[in-house]
Amino acid sequence: MNAQMRRFFREEDGVTALEYGLLAAVVAGLIIFFARDGLRTVFQTVLDKLTALVGEGGGTPTG
């Protein structure tokens, strides 16, 4: 049992995956932080177009 615990704590495969995950999260956070104004514009444009599209439809089905 003691040898298994030592081997478990020496194993580094999971640590490497965790480090890559943390790095990806930091990079994604930085991209969002520096591109937030552009993203806000994109989402606002999409929202405006969807609102206009729904407003034009009137909600009555045709067929």
pTM for the whole thing?
Answer: 0.47
pLDDT in tens, 11-33: 766 678 888 999 999 999 999 89
CA distances from 21 to 17, 38, 43 (A): 6, 25, 27
62, part of any domain: no
24, part of any domain: yes
Q: Cα–Cα distance between 15 and 55 in angstroms, integer?
A: 52
60, part of any domain: no
- The highest-confidence range among 6-10, 12-16, 35-39, by mean pLDDT, is 35-39
Helix spans in the chain (H): 2-10, 13-34, 36-57
Is the pLDDT assigned to residue 59 strictly greater than 70? Answer: no
What is the pLDDT at residue 23? 94
To the nearest whole number, what is the mean pLDDT of the chain?
Answer: 84
61, part of any domain: no
29, part of any domain: yes
Segments forming the whole domain that contains residue 18: 2-55
- Residue 13 tokens read as 């495969």
Is the pLDDT assigned to residue 44 strictly greater than 80? Answer: yes
Contact status, residue 39 vs residue 32, Cβ threshold 8 Å: yes
63, part of any domain: no
